[in-house]
Structure 1
Amino acid sequence: MAHNINFNETTQKDSFFSVKEKAWHGLGQIVDQYPTSGEAIEHAGLNYQVQKAGLSAVNLSSQSVDSQNVPVPNYYATMRTDNGAVFGIVGKDYQIVQNRDAFIFFDSIVGGDGIMYETAGALGKGERIFITAKLPGYIQVGNDDLIEKYLFLTTSHDGSGSITAAFTPVRIVCANTLNAAMKNMTNVVKIRHTSNATERLRTAHKVMGIASRFSDKIGETFNQWAKKPITDPQLRRLIEIAMAPNREVLRNLKDGKVNALSTQYINIVEDVYEYALSNPTQQLPTTMGTVYGAYNAVTGYFQNVRKFQDDEAKLKSIVLGGTAQIRSQTAFNLCSDFAQRGHASLN
């Protein structure tokens, strides 16, 4: 299977580590104990520096060799210092945030005590890195349905985006990522590329505050959903709406034009519905015949059933704003409405 984990030619190792769990495709370093930030950087092969280098353009019309290279003002290439790999082109105001700074950001959130680095790695040539860290404590739904609390951070060195930190709950029983934003409450913070340490620390505490409030609120919401029944026909209708790829499909659903629906879409709905009714993790008291179960049906389908080209594609789809995250957010919103208004919300 294809993957896009960076392979370091110098160390002959994949730039990825994981605690205890099997790393992507058997690649990377698997460690027994949660590492410190310094150890995590070494394990994941993220111990490289990035710098900005001046750019020049070649003037092909010049007759003089000396004047062929023309400096390009206000733009720079970002590149690794260990192997010279070029990542991208950035402007003069772009500030590089080194990989080590991303871990300092995490450490500062809880004063370096209690944060548990679980995975970290580099993609492509090393232009994008990601870190997942587990926070202390759990969200409890019902008596024994536990959700672990994670912070996911990703940043790039090619100018393609800001540093993004997201609070991401993961249901233990099925390793299901319950990634959603709530009304009037975000679970994501985006940080501009700046080398200002004070701003970084201030933002880190903001993230921790968001994680704490979001954790309490999402736990309250899931427990309410776990007590709210939903019938099988209502569940199927919710899945149909949540998995609709566009407005045309939604119109056809509303008008009852079943023949206008594609076979691919119908098959996906069937797969999600089957997962909802037959997967063992859907047979617990918290999920069986409940709104919480309906939400887990959609998210669990993408986590455990849907086939992706590779694990980077899965990561992008579920965590980085791709199709899985979009459909899961729609399902979350539908479940919220159903919990309040019942069947009327599915018309």
Structure 2
Amino acid sequence: MAHNLNYNEKTGRYSFFSVQQKAWHNLGQIVDQYPTSAEAMIYAGLDYEVIKSPLYTKVNDDSEKQVPHYFANIRTDNNTVLGVVGKDYQIVQNREAFSFFDAIVGGGDGILYETAGALGNGERIFITAKLPGYIRVGNGDDVTEKYIFLTTSHDGSGSITAAFTPIRIVCQNTLNAALGDMSNVVRIKHTAGAKERFDDAHRIMGVANVLSIQMEEIFNQWAKVSINDKQVKRLIEHALCPNKETFDLLKKGATDELSSVFKNSINDAFAYAMTSETQQMETTKGTLFGAYNAVTGYYQNVAKYKSEEKKLDSIMNGSAQKRAQKAFDLCRSFAEIGSDIFLMN
């Protein structure tokens, strides 16, 4: 897989750090202790500023003329142009992104910076931070840590995005799920002011607190709900279903007409559900919780991606996240109804 991590020629380092765990593609810095936000920014190579600079174009007489209402975002440590933005675009400096995290729990008490890095030329950054507390399933051996993931860009391509994402320690599965009308994602426009960003920091923390409490209750319930192998496979089929045409084929039982790519995905996910060591726990073996983890575990540990960046995008806010959400909704329906016609066929 390609990594697309930014390489800083001045320092001779890749812009990425990780605490204790092996760094991305063996690149970047591994540190022993959780750093402060200021230390994390330096370890990850994010200690650079970005400025908006006027854009100029050549005219007929070869003179320069300023382009109105548009600016180039420039990285000041190496003068790299990161993107073109409009006049209302507000730069969120990398240090401000860390301040967003520090504001969540009040001065950084209890928040642990786990990873951070820059992609491309430094136009996109990402940070993951561990929150205090756990989600415990069963007798407490199956533990889920609570994280907030943030990504922002300096090229005008998207909003600041912060997401609550629990991760199971035993298999590092990212368990993205929204309960009811609540989303685990907060998006902040680059036109937003500092006060709005600060308010949203507390909003994502509120989302994290509510979601973690509700998810612990739901996961413990699912760990007590039995599901047989045939039902697990049907759940996987419907959770991974990419479109209505495939869904109609599944309803008709026309498995021979399914694409080979889809069938291979189903087989790989089902094999993970049946054979993975983490699927043999008391909380997962033959349980609805295990079925849900089979889908999230497939995308986290088995599915192939063109690059680590594509994997990150897919799991946090792309097709893998949507499939995991579909699995969550199917499991919740299964638990409430006791059976589901699509799972029982």
SS in 2 for 1:176: coil
Maintained 8 Å contact 1:338/1:346 = no
Residue 73 of structure 1 aligns with an amino acid whose one-letter code is P
Within the candidate set 267, 270, 273, 2:267 is matched to 270
> What corresponds to 2:88 in structure 1?
93
For residue 195 of structure 1, report the CA deviation from its aligned partner: 6.6
> What corresponds to 1:20 in structure 2?
20
> What corresponds to 2:6 in structure 1?
6
> What corresponds to 2:104 in structure 1?
109
For residue 322 of structure 1, report the CA deviation from its aligned partner: 2.0
> What corresponds to 1:340 in structure 2?
336
Provide the rounded CA distance (Å) in 2 between the counterparts of 1:330 and 1:299: 11
Q: How does 1:238-257 map to 2 (within 5 A)?
A: 238-257=235-254
Provide the rounded CA distance (Å) in 2 between the counterparts of 1:196 and 1:326: 30
For residue 92 of structure 1, report the CA deviation from its aligned partner: 0.5
> Which digits, 9 at most, give the CA deviation of each residue in 1:283-341, with x for residues without a partner?
1111111111111001101111122223222111111x222112111111111111111
> Which digits, 9 at most, give the CA deviation of each residue in 1:142-190, with x for residues without a partner?
1121000000000001111111111100001111111122212211111
Q: Does 1:156 align with 2:153?
A: yes
> What corresponds to 1:316 in structure 2?
313
Mind listing any 5+ residue stretches in structure 1 that lack a counterpart?
Answer: none
Q: How does 1:208-287 map to 2 (within 5 A)?
A: 208-287=205-284
Maintained 8 Å contact 1:139/1:219 = yes
Provide the rounded CA distance (Å) in 2 between the counterparts of 1:157 and 1:230: 47
The Cα RMSD (Å) is: 1.3
Provide the rounded CA distance (Å) in 2 between the counterparts of 1:313 and 1:191: 22
> What corresponds to 2:134 in structure 1?
138
Maintained 8 Å contact 1:87/1:127 = yes
SS in 2 for 1:107: helix
Provide the rounded CA distance (Å) in 2 between the counterparts of 1:126 and 1:118: 19
TM-score, normalised on structure 1?
0.95
SS in 2 for 1:65: coil
Mind listing any 5+ residue stretches in structure 2 that lack a counterpart?
Answer: none
For residue 346 of structure 1, report the CA deviation from its aligned partner: 2.0
> Which digits, 9 at most, give the CA deviation of each residue in 1:24-52, with x for residues without a partner?
01100100000000000000000000011
Residue 322 of structure 2 aligns with an amino acid whose one-letter code is I
Provide the rounded CA distance (Å) in 2 between the counterparts of 1:72 and 1:308: 39
For residue 57 of structure 1, report the CA deviation from its aligned partner: 2.2
Maintained 8 Å contact 2:333/2:340 = no
Q: Between Structure 1 and Structure 2, how many residues are aligned?
A: 341
Range with greater deviation from structure 2 (13-22 or 226-235): 226-235
Residue 114 of structure 2 aligns with an amino acid whose one-letter code is E
For residue 101 of structure 1, report the CA deviation from its aligned partner: 0.1
Provide the rounded CA distance (Å) in 1 between the counterparts of 2:156 and 2:3: 22
> What corresponds to 1:73 in structure 2?
68
SS in 1 for 2:241: coil
Maintained 8 Å contact 2:251/2:342 = no
Maintained 8 Å contact 1:145/1:286 = yes
Within the candidate set 195, 198, 206, 1:198 is matched to 195
SS in 2 for 1:180: coil
For residue 204 of structure 1, report the CA deviation from its aligned partner: 1.3
Residue 104 of structure 2 aligns with an amino acid whose one-letter code is I
SS in 2 for 1:343: coil
Provide the rounded CA distance (Å) in 2 between the counterparts of 1:15 and 1:213: 33
